[in-house]
């Protein structure tokens, strides 16, 4: 059973004070969900490193997970400016985003580094949210499926089949991120099927049934339902619309409405 996941990627936004104020408002917006104690959908917030301790302490006893937006692959040592998986665990993180397109395309991270980060996250007990996605040029050239399959393969090449349930893949077409132009759900489903096919090809038929695959790129309360109604899509990674507590609460309830918790579990 893949539990739907609604994940916030705040990018380089919010001071500690702004984080605390977001958390207070968001928790009160989702009070009815907290009261229901269903833990469905799973909620994840990934603030900047500097806000992780404040967010962790305020959501400590609530069903809201905290994640980081990046991690280094070494446990410790002379790596100025980097943060290790163990340090993130120490602050209460359970997830970490790896290979976001802004890190690939603005900071210049390559596939080899991303593969190491996925491995290091799992070794430290963090669930990696591996981001993949094609550029507009790649889509226009008809390479979207190929590019996403390659990114999936590279990112997961040091992972074992038994670890696949711990891995989240976020399909985020680069041209849809922060542009207000979301992908068509049919196109997202086509790529996500390719991603699952790649996982099955690597680890064995049926293994991908345990991998959660999210869609990301200009997700808003007004369009998330069209993605969540597709069984292939297990949730969303949300940038801009996750910065406002009311909007992020709306997104959470939209996920719940489109994908209610089955009564059998």
Residues that are catalytic = 100, 172
b/e for 69-103, b at 16 or more Cβ within 10 A? Answer: bbbbbeeeeeeeeebbbebbeebbbebbbbbbbbb
Residue with tokens 């993605």: 227
Q: Which of 148, 212, 219 is nearest to 183 (CA)?
A: 219
Q: Does 240 sit near ligand PGA (CB under 6 A)?
A: yes
- The Cβ of residue 164 has, within 10 Å, a number of other Cβ atoms equal to 21
Q: Which stretch, 60-68, 113-121, 135-143, 232-240, contacts ligand PGA (CB under 6 A)?
A: 232-240
Q: Does 177 sit near ligand PGA (CB under 6 A)?
A: yes
Dihedral sign for Cα atoms in the order 58, 253, 1, 144: negative
Question: Closer CB to ligand PGA, residue 103 or residue 115?
Answer: 103
Question: Closer CB to ligand PGA, residue 4 or residue 203?
Answer: 4
Question: Closer CB to ligand PGA, residue 55 or residue 241?
Answer: 241
Residue with tokens 């997104």: 251
Residue 64: enclosing H or E segment and its boundaries? strand 64-68
Q: Does 169 sit near ligand PGA (CB under 6 A)?
A: no
Q: Which of 241, 235, 263, 260 is nearest to 65 (CA)?
A: 235
Give the residue, chosen from 191, 239, 248, 259, that forms a contact with ligand PGA under the rule CB under 6 A. Answer: 239
Q: Which stretch, 52-60, 69-77, 192-200, 233-241, contacts ligand PGA (CB under 6 A)?
A: 233-241
Give the residue, chosen from 53, 92, 111, 178, that forms a contact with ligand PGA under the rule CB under 6 A. Answer: 178
Length of the chain, please?
265
Q: Which stretch, 21-29, 142-150, 161-169, 231-239, contacts ligand PGA (CB under 6 A)?
A: 231-239
Q: Does 58 sit near ligand PGA (CB under 6 A)?
A: no
Q: Does 172 sit near ligand PGA (CB under 6 A)?
A: yes
Q: What are phi and psi of 6, to 5 degrees?
A: -110, 115
Closest CB to ligand PGA: residue number: 239
CB 196 to ligand PGA: min, Å = 20
Binding-site ranges for ligand PGA (CB under 6 A): 9, 172, 177-178, 216-219, 237-241
């Amino acid at each position: 059973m893949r539990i739907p996941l609604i994940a916030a990627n705040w990018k380089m936004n919010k001071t500690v004070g702004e984080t605390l104020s977001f958390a207070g408002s968001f928790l009160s917006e989702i009070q009815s969900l907290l009261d229901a104690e269903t833990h469905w959908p799973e909620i994840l917030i990934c603030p900047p490193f500097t806000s992780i301790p404040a967010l962790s302490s305020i959501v400590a006893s609530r069903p809201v997970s905290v994640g980081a937006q990046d991690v280094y692959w070494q446990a410790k040592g002379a790596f100025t400016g980097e943060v290790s998986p163990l340090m993130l665990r120490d602050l209460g993180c359970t997830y970490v985003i790896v290979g976001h397109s802004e890190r690939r395309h603005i900071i210049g991270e390559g596939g080899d580094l991303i593969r190491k980060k996925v491995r290091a996250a799992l070794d430290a007990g963090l669930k990696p949210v591996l981001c993949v996605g094609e550029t507009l040029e790649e889509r226009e050239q008809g390479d979207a499926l190929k590019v996403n399959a390659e990114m999936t393969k590279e990112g997961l090449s040091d992972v074992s089949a038994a670890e696949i349930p711990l891995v989240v893949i976020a399909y985020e077409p680069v041209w849809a991120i922060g542009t207000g132009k979301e992908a068509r759900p049919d196109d997202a489903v086509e790529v996500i099927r390719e991603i699952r096919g790649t996982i099955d090809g690597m680890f064995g038929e049926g293994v991908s049934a345990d991998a959660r695959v999210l869609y990301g790129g200009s997700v808003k309360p007004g369009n998330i339902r069209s993605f969540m109604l597709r069984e292939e899509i297990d949730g969303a990674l949300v940038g801009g619309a996750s910065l406002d507590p009311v909007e992020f609460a709306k997104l959470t309830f939209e996920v719940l409405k489109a994908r209610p918790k089955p009564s059998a579990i």
